[in-house]
Amino acid sequence: MSNPVLTISNLTKRFGGVTAVSDINLEVMPKETIAIIGPNGAGKTTFYNMVSGRMRPTEGKIILDGMDITGLPPHKISRLGVSRSFQINNIFPEMTVQENVEVVLSAYHGHSRKLFNIASRNAAIQQEAVEFLKRLGIDSLKAQRAEVISYGDKRLLEIAMVLATQPKLVLLDEPTAGMTPDETRRTTRLIKKLADSGDYTFMITEHDMDVVFNLADRILVMHRGEKLFAGTPEEVKNHPEVRVAYLGEEEDESVEEAKT
């Protein structure tokens, strides 16, 4: 049995009197895909913000591959192997699609400290950038300015940027939010393919239950900052409390969405 990539113990975040995340414990094993679900305000994004270093936990520990990363700044956590996407598009709008990935690759390979090279002539980085774009199926857009490509393509570009740092753990925050049904299907297929390749360990938050049940090996259900239940998709589907607290309403919604 291999060691967990990520071990989270007693993770808690309080904002003044409000407890956004309360006493979460979680182990993420290598190469698995774990989904975190819960209604709005359940604390998923706060949870992500702590794991990626955007927020400092009030209590608890985050151990990545045996190393304590609790409360480290984002750039250090990224260096140690946690890479995340955001709910909103978080790209470099005035650069080309390919340059967006090149920025991340330059950072990852330490080229960012080179003052006297000509970045646009770095063939190795360019080739690698195109590789990542191919993996997400958006290499045909490489010369476009990132701000003009479609919303769905921007989200895929973001995933390409997240993968470019060869992370031990990939955090995707609602990767299909705001996508059309077509884009959602395409993105789900892509993530599924990446997860099946065995190269990545994914942690995903998502509202779309079809996407969650399609991708996740295990699911953590959060409710009002607390862990409601954790288990396989099957167990979650059949858990009475989860159905009442969350799935019931959501399922109705997703049925309606599917109809439209």
Partner 1 sequence: MKTKVLMAILAVVIAGLIAVPWIASYFYVFIFTEILILGLFAASFNLIFGYTGMLSFGHAAFFGIGSYATALVLIHLEWPFLACLLVSMGASALLALVIGFLSVRLNEVYFAMLTLAFGMMVFAIAYQWRSVTNGSDGLAGFTLGSFGLGLDLTLANPSVYYHVVLAIVAIASVVLYVICRSSFGMILKAIRQNPERVSFAGLNVRTYRLVAFVIAGTFAGLAGGLIAPFLRVASPELLHWSMSAEPILMAILGGTGFFLGPFIGSAAFVLLETWITTYTESWMLVLGIILAMMVIFFRKGLLGTAIDWWMEVKK
Interface positions with partner 1 (CB under 8 A) = 52, 73-76, 78-79, 83-84, 90-95, 99, 102-104, 106-108, 111-120, 122, 161, 165
Q: How far is the CB of 165 from partner 1 (least distance, A)?
A: 6
Strands (E), the chain: 6-15, 18-28, 33-37, 59-64, 67-68, 82-84, 169-173, 202-205, 218-223, 226-231
Q: How far is the CB of 91 from partner 1 (least distance, A)?
A: 7
Cα 164 from Cα 85, distance rounded (Å): 12
48 vs 229, beta carbon nearer partner 1: 48
Cα 22 from Cα 230, distance rounded (Å): 15
Cα 144 from Cα 217, distance rounded (Å): 36
Residues whose CB falls within 8 Å of the CB of residue 94, separated by 6 or more in sequence, listed in order = 145, 146, 147
Q: Is 103 helix (H, G, I), strand (E, B) or coil?
A: helix
46 vs 106, beta carbon nearer partner 1: 106
Q: How far is the CB of 93 from partner 1 (least distance, A)?
A: 6
Question: What is the DSSP secondary structure assignment for residue 72, as one 8-state letter?
Answer: -
Q: How far is the CB of 54 from partner 1 (least distance, A)?
A: 8
104 vs 247, beta carbon nearer partner 1: 104
Residue given tokens 């297929």 in the structure block: 189
57 vs 81, beta carbon nearer partner 1: 81
Q: How far is the CB of 112 from partner 1 (least distance, A)?
A: 5
45 vs 78, beta carbon nearer partner 1: 78
Residue given tokens 């608890």 in the structure block: 60
Q: How far is the CB of 132 from partner 1 (least distance, A)?
A: 13
129 vs 228, beta carbon nearer partner 1: 129
